[in-house]
């Protein structure tokens, strides 16, 4: 079997990777996973905040215009803060992916990367997920504002 083939098993003679290096590599992978989970936490939290604000605004029988304006500002601020956090997470995720690419190059030979199918992570990959998170913030704020100001039937 040809050792240069990507389907070949890892060569037993390949340079060993220190256990500490593998720990750092795993920590980098865990960091990326953590950032992705945080994006979902922020998105879900802002949706719940929108719902809670609308509930508070719609619960009194006759909410005052001042209360509605205050709650509207709260919706807009919650959306802006969530979008800012998501942007920060996207930046952190790009940095983490770049660090993981460097770790891949350091830890594994070309043959090992091929055998393990370790592809270079593109920093701007996943923009559609980021866009979906932003859409929840923007569309959710719009829906919350409409629901808050809609006249009860």
pLDDT, tens digit (0-9, with 9 covering 90-100), for 21-30: 788 888 888 9
Average pLDDT over residues 72-98: 95
Is 133 a member of any domain? yes
Reading the block at residue 104, the tokens are 């891949």
**Shortest CA distance to 45 belongs to which of 72, 82, 12?**
82
Residue 15 has what pLDDT? 61
Is 11 a member of any domain? no
Q: Encode burial over 112-146: b for 16+ CB neighbours within 10 A, e otherwise.
A: bbbbeebeebebeebeeebeebbebbeebbeebbe
Is 4 a member of any domain? no
Is 73 a member of any domain? yes
pLDDT of 83 strictly over 90: yes
Residue 8 has what pLDDT? 47
Radius of gyration of the chain from its Cα atoms, rounded to whole angstroms: 24
In this predicted structure, which of 6-20, 51-65, 88-102 has the lowest mean pLDDT?
Answer: 6-20
pLDDT of 50 strictly over 60: yes
Which range of residues forms the domain containing residue 119? 35-149
Is 15 a member of any domain? no
Is 17 a member of any domain? no
Q: Are 71 and 148 in contact (CB under 8 A)?
A: yes
Is 58 a member of any domain? yes
How sure is the predictor about 104, in pLDDT bands with cuts at 50, 70 and 90?
A: confident
> What's the chain's average pLDDT?
85
Indicate the number of domains in the chain. Answer: 1
Is 29 a member of any domain? no
- pTM of the complete model beyond 0.85: no
Greater model confidence, 45 or 117: 45
pLDDT of 71 strictly over 80: yes
């Amino acid at each position: 079997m040809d050792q240069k083939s990507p389907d070949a098993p890892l060569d037993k003679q390949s340079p060993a990777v220190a256990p500490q290096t593998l720990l750092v590599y795993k920590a980098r992978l865990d960091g990326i996973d953590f950032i992705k989970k945080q994006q979902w936490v922020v998105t879900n939290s802002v949706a719940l905040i929108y719902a809670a604000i609308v509930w508070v605004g719609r619960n009194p029988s006759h909410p005052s215009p001042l209360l509605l304006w205050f709650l509207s500002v709260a919706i807009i601020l919650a959306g802006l803060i969530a979008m800012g956090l998501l942007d920060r997470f996207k930046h952190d995720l790009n940095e983490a992916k770049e660090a993981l690419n460097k770790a891949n190059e350091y830890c594994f030979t070309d043959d090992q990367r091929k055998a393990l199918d370790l592809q270079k992570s593109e920093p701007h990959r996943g923009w559609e997920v980021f866009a979906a998170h932003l859409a929840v913030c923007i569309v959710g704020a719009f829906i919350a504002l409409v629901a808050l100001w809609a006249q009860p039937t």
